[in-house]
Structure 1
């Protein structure tokens, strides 16, 4: 009997999971580019730095509708599916998955800290790893239990977040001032956020350490447990139901696509109408960011899953789909590579373009990075079994060096 769990081989992989993961990791950059290139408020409010150009408003609107919170939701679901997949494989071999899972999460915490403190403050890996510590406890429960628990967590999070926009007048003055600065930063706030990224790497690390110390606990207890953890549990359930592996019927996916997109885009249309009618007022932005986009993103993510599952089930095969799947197989490497590329473009140790580019120009950079990662992921996996960081993570998780180069 096998006494050690081995990594998933190329032959054992689900193409649907790789494809959805590839689209998710590329899509994440559409929104992350705002965080790389400018201050925090720029991500949420096109008017944060003053009167925007027409193209800036249009680009912000398109990315808000189709990308904002949608792709990290997908990625969270897939992370949960990955936990479930490992647990199932271990159980099938009569091996306890806990040892491997918690070792895997330990190393992801280390990677997340390195990324979040030394490379970019927008890291999500640390939160994912911390949430992975407790969602694993649900692996032996029924998919229905996982699904209901995940939905309840997200509903509670959305309800809690909506309270801030409904009861603005009851928010303590100090907290209200801080929240206002998130959406409408004054010149001093803009300068404080900008200065480290135009000066030295040491100043950037110091800024990231301060950000981490001030926000990691509150993010973990709210956004992490309820939004990310809830999405992971839903992903675990959808994996068990065969939704994420394209195992359901074509009719099922068409119904999921129509339902998810109809509800999601109707909510988003209402959200956009309120933002435009109220000229991006504080209450409209707060409701949008805290509640409307959060809820709509779940439904639109379901629609994306259905669309990609239909692509897998179709007879259309070829280099494009394989390229997206290759990006998904190297999601960890590609995610970190995006940070290395973008910080080199925008920070002082690179080209120093922080706050210099408009949103349309940023989308041009996103397109170039997309094309590079689509090409290089396929090229790499024709020669190696894993991406470089996937290989390192697996080697650390399983306690032995994995096969790396093919042939």
Structure 2
């Protein structure tokens, strides 16, 4: 069959577990993005955070975010991208469609979306990493399971640290002066630009931030290797069929849950409370690197089993519509972040808050995204950006409004 007859995957073919996992992961990604503006000193100086309301709660909230969210959400999100890659390859090939052409167009469209997002909405934009890493995964689509696991695990664990070490060894960040963007002077400059409604100048500031720290400074390169490892593990799990036919593997999910989740959380707790001594930073990072994928795997087991629980099966599906509109909701989350901290027409909280208040804002914002997604999908087949992504990928306009609503209108 020629690619001119190719059509998007039918909505009915979607797997419920993956939509719930994707929606759950997106909540963590948005929480993590907001928390990084506190943890990395982006929005407020240390003195400003110390005098902010609820400052006494910030260390406790930081512990909760570090333990349950940091690294785990983007691990889960990247894993699902790799799993989704396998699913699309399997389904398109089974239908006789030209997977190679379709998926390369899909990645190119995502790359276009990501460039708009990274330079006009959100710094440290993950979609750009996913698009670029997707090309690498595409080139590896026919490698064996042994290669996927044998290369995916070390890349997941050490890829980012290794690249960061190489860039540091050659003094790249120092030559770019990228660390300046984390200083009090840079923080105050961002606040001043936002206060003067200089959003154009603020975007220019973040453009420099993105180029020097994220792209040229090596952070994005490290994250590409980090993401590639997770993509490869996701593709391997897709081949094994564990999440495509989870009912056949429930005993395995139960066994792994009682191993990986307590172990992952336990290692993170040890790392968090480790006293300082010579070499403690390296040990702490090593513990966190191992803990992160273990905890993320535990979340997968929890959700798969929860969807077969009489109680949780009534609650967890609330995440599914958010997961079906993951691209739209991710971009909306980035817009909310910038509006919350810097405006324009936002709350302009940069310099006024620590960590606790932004986390409350995220909870209410995510509740809005849940409601918005549920209502939207009552009337439309796809989210707005998802529809555009499919239309540009396939070169045709897929159905947008649901048939029942067409008839009534």
Shorter chain as normaliser: what TM range? 0.7 to 0.9
In structure 2, C-alpha distance between the alignment counterparts of 1:45 and 1:191, rounded to whole Å: 8
Partner of residue 384, structure 1: 380
CA deviations 1:346-381 (Å, max 9, x no partner) are 214122111312322112111101211122211111
2:284 corresponds to 1:308:
no
> Following superposition of structure 1 onto structure 2, how do residues 220-299 of structure 1 map, counting pairs within 5 Å?
220-224=220-224, 226-245=225-244, 246-274=246-274, 277-278=275-276, 288=284, 291-299=286-294
1:7 matched residue in structure 2: 8
- Residue 320 of structure 2 aligns with which residue? 325
Checking the alignment, whether the CA contact within 8 Å between 2:2 and 2:98 is kept in structure 1 is no
Q: Give 1:192 shift.
A: 3.8
Could you tell me which residue of structure 2 aligns to residue 134 of structure 1? 136
Q: Distance in 2 between matches of 1:325 and 1:70?
A: 19
- The C-alpha deviation readout for 1:118-143, integer Å capped at 9, x for no partner, is 11113110110000011012222333
Q: Distance in 2 between matches of 1:369 and 1:163?
A: 37
Correspondence list, 1:30-179, <5 A: 30-35=31-36, 40-41=40-41, 53-157=55-159, 160=162, 175=174
Which consecutive residues of structure 2, in runs of 5 or more, have no partner in the other structure?
Answer: 404-409
State the shift of 1:282 in Å.
11
Partners of 1:191 and 1:15 lie apart in 2 by: 45
1:345 shift after superposition: 2.3
Work out which of the residue numbers 332, 336, 341 in structure 2 matches 1:337.
332
In the other structure, the counterpart of 2:402 is 406
Deviates more, 1:359-368 or 1:49-58: 49-58
Q: Offset of 1:316 from its aligned partner?
A: 4.7
Per the TM alignment, residue 162 of structure 1 is displaced from its structure 2 partner at its CA by 9.2
Task: Report the number of matched residues.
Answer: 394
* Residues in 1 aligned to 2:180 and 2:48: alpha-carbon distance in whole angstroms: 10
Shift of 1:80: 0.9
Change (3 A) 1:384 1:6: same
Following superposition, the deviation at residue 244 of structure 1 comes to 3.0
Distance 1:282 1:42 in 2: 28
Q: Which runs of 5+ in 1 are unaligned?
A: none
Match of 2:210 in 1: 212
Residue 109 of structure 2 contacts residue 392 of structure 2 at CA under 8 Å; is this kept in 1? yes
TM-align CA RMSD: 3.2
Counterparts of 1:7 and 1:189, CA distance in 2: 45
TM-score of the two chains, using structure 2 as the length reference: 0.86
- Describe the superposition over 1:101-123 as per-residue Cα deviations: whole angstroms up to 9, x where unpaired: 11111111111111111111131
Query: Contact 1:21/1:331 (CA < 8 Å) preserved in 2?
Result: yes
Q: Report what 1:190 is aligned to.
A: 187
| Contact 2:340–2:349 (8 Å) recurs in 1 | yes
Which residue among 357, 362, 371 is the counterpart of 2:367? 371
Give me the TM-score of the superposition, normalised by structure 1.
0.86
Q: Which of residues 338, 350, 362 in structure 2 aligns to 1:354?
A: 350
- 1:314 shift after superposition: 3.5
- Runs of 4+ aligned structure 1 residues displaced above 6 Å come to 43-48, 161-164, 170-174, 176-182
Change (3 A) 1:45 1:11: farther
Deviations 1:24-48 (CA, angstroms, capped at 9, x unpaired)? 011111111134x558436999899
Q: Any conservation in 1 of the 2:173–2:179 contact (CA below 8 Å)?
A: no
